[in-house]
């Protein structure tokens, strides 16, 4: 029986490269001079620190541009509003989304069941495995899922006959 997996994974190497490029651009740009703007990756996500909330938003814009150029979807970023971080400083946290959440997995399985494709969808942790006897039907299922606009970036892996 043929199958494939629907996953939501980040290329952390590309994200790190985008952060490094954004950090270098922020250091060199004239409009960021004297704002002490920093971009760093931590365990909780990406943190932007600056002396004003507007500089945090501008640094986020630079970061998003670099991430897009690296081929990473902006759907993987979950940016919070800049918050005061003591003194004149502001801090903005951007969480990185990875893995398919249970609610999204249920939506995908329901979409597949409601379609007339007769494919099997099974939730396995943060992966949705879709299976059917014929490869052509699975390719139709991939096209159906791609047509939808979900809040997470989806990839299709482990296509097996």
Kindly report, residue by residue over 64-120, the tens digit of the pLDDT: 999 999 999 999 999 999 998 888 899 999 999 988 999 999 999 999 998 888 888
Q: In a 10 Å sphere around its CB, with 0-12 CB exposed, 13-18 middle and 19+ buried, how is residue 146 labelled? A: exposed
Work out the pLDDT band at 39, boundaries 50, 70, 90. very high
List, in order of start, the domains of the chain with CATH numbers: 2-8+99-160 (3.30.70.860), 12-96 (3.30.70.990)
Alpha-carbon dihedral angle through residues 44, 66, 143, 79, given to the nearest 10 degrees = 40
| pTM of the entire predicted model | 0.83
Distances (CA, A) of 31 to 25, 36, 37, 96, 131: 11, 11, 11, 27, 53
129 vs 160: CA distance, rounded Å: 11
Q: pLDDT value at position 40? A: 93
Determine the Cα angle at 67 with ends 65 and 68, to 5°.
65
What is d(CA 72, CA 14) in angstroms, rounded to the nearest whole number?
7
């Amino acid at each position: 029986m043929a199958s494939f997996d629907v996953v939501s994974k980040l290329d952390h190497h590309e994200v790190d490269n985008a952060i490094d490029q954004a950090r270098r651009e922020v250091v060199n740009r004239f409009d960021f001079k004297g704002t002490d703007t920093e971009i760093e990756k931590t365990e909780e996500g990406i943190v932007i620190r600056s002396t004003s909330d507007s500089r945090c938003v501008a640094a986020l814009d630079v970061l998003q541009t670099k991430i897009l150029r690296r081929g990473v979807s902006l759907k993987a970023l979950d940016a919070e509003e800049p918050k005061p971080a003591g003194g004149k400083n502001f801090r903005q946290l951007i969480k990185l989304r990875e893995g398919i959440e249970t609610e999204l997995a249920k939506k995908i399985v329901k979409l597949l069941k409601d379609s007339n494709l007769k494919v099997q969808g099974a939730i396995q942790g943060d992966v949705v495995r879709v299976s059917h006897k014929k490869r052509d039907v699975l390719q139709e299922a991939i096209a159906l899922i791609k047509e939808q606009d979900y809040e997470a970036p989806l990839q299709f892996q482990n296509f097996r006959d």
